[in-house]
Structure 1
Amino acid sequence: MISLKQFRYFVEIVEAGSYSRAAEKLYIAQSALSRQIKELEDELRTQLLTRDARQFELTPAGHLFFERAKRILEEIDDTVVQARHVGQGAQGVIRLQHSSSVILTPQITAALALLLGEFPGVTLDVSMLPSENQTLEIEEGRADIGLLRLPTLRRHPHIHVRQVTTERLMVAVSRDSPLAALDNVELAQLSDQAFISIPHKDRGGLSYLVANLCLEQGFFPKPARALSRKSSQLNLIEAGLGIAIVPECMRLTAPAGVRFITLAQGSLTTSVGLACRREADPLVAAFADRLVHTLTEAIP
């Protein structure tokens, strides 16, 4: 029978990149680790790793097993955390995710603090995940509430997305860029610029919105040689590798070498949505409803 220990050992080997590093982290002998993986493969009746004296490679079955095993372990860990909180008297853990472009601004954190006061038995488990991934995580029960950039392209029948905040878009550039001296720029003026973030063909969110705005001006964002859809794009911009159109909230976490320029006289905006299951647990549904109300009421 396959054991939970073997799941953990296999995932650790793949993530560590070698048997020796995994053995050191797990505090077991490398020979014992190898024996556990051999027993796992025997039980599965298939090879997961091809290995020689120095390295290993995942077989197709190994790739599948790694992804599924990692997800199972994450769900087990999450179940343990929730059970511990319930055992300590908490009413429940609400798993809240936000995308890298939905920064936890003072407005959002103040709303969360207010709600935690109203829901004394709730504990929040906050993590970061791309917008499109959030809806899938909520659909499949691995998350409860998501704060994401609209629009979302994938449609999940059990997910309800409500708009909660709107903010203006700005152009983020290196302080050494000629654009940094401008107070305002029109979108059409950026047609020759290299964009750090361009849309993924299967994802919505901020980059998808920006690409559509550019197309309305007759051009598609020219990709920079270094691309990122994460908060790390600001570091690439600081290094002079390109520009990005971002929500104004990203000024809060920008490095010193990034300048923000008003775009199209502040007329272009982006929205944040709150995603939740349509038939969520009553506690989650009540918390989500109050969060939507609190954030929409806070809009100036």
Structure 2
Amino acid sequence: MTIVQIKYFITVVKCASYTKAAEQLFISQPALSRHIKNMEEELNIQLFLRTNNGIRLTPAGSSLYVGMLDLYENYIEMVNKAEKIQKGLDGTLKIGILDQTNVSDFMPMIYQYFQENYPNVDLWFQEGSFNYLVSELYSGRLDLIYTLKFEIERKEGIMYQYVSHSKDHIVMSRFHPLAKKDQVTLDDVKDETFVLISEEDNPESAPLILALCKEHGFVPQVHYAKSLAEQILWIAVGMGVSILDSRTYLKLNPDVKFFEIDSNWDPSLVIAWNQNNYNPLLSVFIKKMNEILGTEEEDIHGAGLEKDRP
């Protein structure tokens, strides 16, 4: 039995006439009669009784009608919902943002756009560490993440696009003696304690910073923070210095000084997604983000699919 046969059966019941039902369905009456007869034979149930006043349901047919009407209406509802989701009009988009990353210059405008144009779309936001975001992206529990390029660029199956091109900075409390200088270099902080994020949370960051220090001829004393949030807290309270990008919320803290430096990696903010994620809302979201930021010409990188849009 097919969904078409169920539709024909329901229409005949509602019209109480093969002739009227056939007209409504734009098929011939004999063809409609054959469909109903095939249903009866397949189910081994007599659905209709012919009377002098037309047709009426048998008790078995009446019982079947109630169930099939619910089934058909649920089917239509599910198809309509799926079509809306496919068009990016309905559904949920789960977005992860790296701990302490400032997206306030563009995210409220994207959110407002979806509220006004796609009221049935639920944008769901979550903050997390480097490892957490990547893990959730692979598992499908997050659709998009905002993280740093050097963290994501070598991850298998992950696509990404630049959001903003950032520079790295030596960061310290404004109460640190070196904070009074106009410019601070790595050579200036060789005797300082470096506050770095643990390799358990981010296996990329600390090794890159330590390698850069080694190039400058020193190995710093290090305190390892368990998370990016903890690292930023330790810097803010003056426990040491570190190297951070300019997208961190710490950049907005007037009691923390940032001194730009050249690094061997790219700390730019990117938006990333799993190449096997087919949520149609991905392209809608990224398109609007690009319009707001003026990044429509940015290439798509990763997973061997350069320049392919999501």
- 2:145 is aligned with what amino acid? G
The 8 Å contact of residues 146 and 276 in structure 1, kept in 2 or not, is answered as yes
User: Is 1:191 the equivalent of 2:190?
Assistant: yes
> What whole-Å deviation, never above 9, does each CA across 1:163-192 have from its counterpart, x for those lacking one?
221222222212321111012111232222
Equivalent position of 1:233 in the other structure: 231
> What whole-Å deviation, never above 9, does each CA across 1:55-88 have from its counterpart, x for those lacking one?
xxxxxxxxxxxxxxxxxxxxxxxxxxxxxxx9xx
SS at match of 1:134: helix
- Residues 170 and 251 (structure 1), Cα distance of their counterparts in 2 relative to 1, 3 Å cut: farther
Superposition pairs for residues 164-175 of structure 1, below 5 Å?
164-175=163-174
Task: Choose the corresponding residue for 1:243, options 241, 256, 261.
Answer: 241
For normalisation by structure 1, the TM-score amounts to 0.57
Equivalent position of 1:293 in the other structure: 290
- Give 1:265 shift: 8.1
Equivalent position of 1:273 in the other structure: 270
Q: Distance in 2 between matches of 1:154 and 1:267?
A: 14
Return 5+ residue gaps in structure 1 as ranges. 1-85
- Give 1:146 shift: 0.6
Q: Distance in 2 between matches of 1:213 and 1:121?
A: 48
RMSD, aligned CA = 3.5
Task: Choose the corresponding residue for 2:257, options 243, 257, 260.
Answer: 260
- Residues 112 and 249 (structure 1), Cα distance of their counterparts in 2 relative to 1, 3 Å cut: same
Bigger mean CA deviation after superposition, 105-114 or 271-280: 105-114
For normalisation by structure 2, the TM-score amounts to 0.56
The 8 Å contact of residues 172 and 260 in structure 1, kept in 2 or not, is answered as yes
The 8 Å contact of residues 160 and 275 in structure 1, kept in 2 or not, is answered as yes
Equivalent position of 1:64 in the other structure: none
**Number of residues paired by the alignment?**
209
Q: Distance in 2 between matches of 1:120 and 1:167?
A: 33
Q: Distance in 1 between matches of 2:101 and 2:215?
A: 25
Q: Distance in 2 between matches of 1:204 and 1:263?
A: 23
SS at match of 2:106: helix
- Give 1:149 shift: 1.4
Q: Distance in 2 between matches of 1:202 and 1:295?
A: 31
- Residues 247 and 144 (structure 1), Cα distance of their counterparts in 2 relative to 1, 3 Å cut: same
User: Is 1:176 the equivalent of 2:175?
Assistant: yes
Equivalent position of 1:143 in the other structure: 142
The higher radius of gyration belongs to 2
Return 5+ residue gaps in structure 2 as ranges. 1-84, 297-310
SS at match of 2:92: strand
- 1:217 is aligned with what amino acid? H
The 8 Å contact of residues 112 and 291 in structure 1, kept in 2 or not, is answered as no
Q: Distance in 2 between matches of 1:153 and 1:249?
A: 16
SS at match of 1:279: coil
The 8 Å contact of residues 234 and 254 in structure 1, kept in 2 or not, is answered as no
The 8 Å contact of residues 196 and 225 in structure 2, kept in 1 or not, is answered as yes
Superposition pairs for residues 1-300 of structure 1, below 5 Å?
91-114=90-113, 116-152=115-151, 157-200=156-199, 203-204=202-203, 206-207=205-206, 209-224=208-223, 227-251=225-249, 255=253, 258-264=255-261, 270-290=267-287, 293-294=290-291, 297=294
- 2:109 is aligned with what amino acid? A
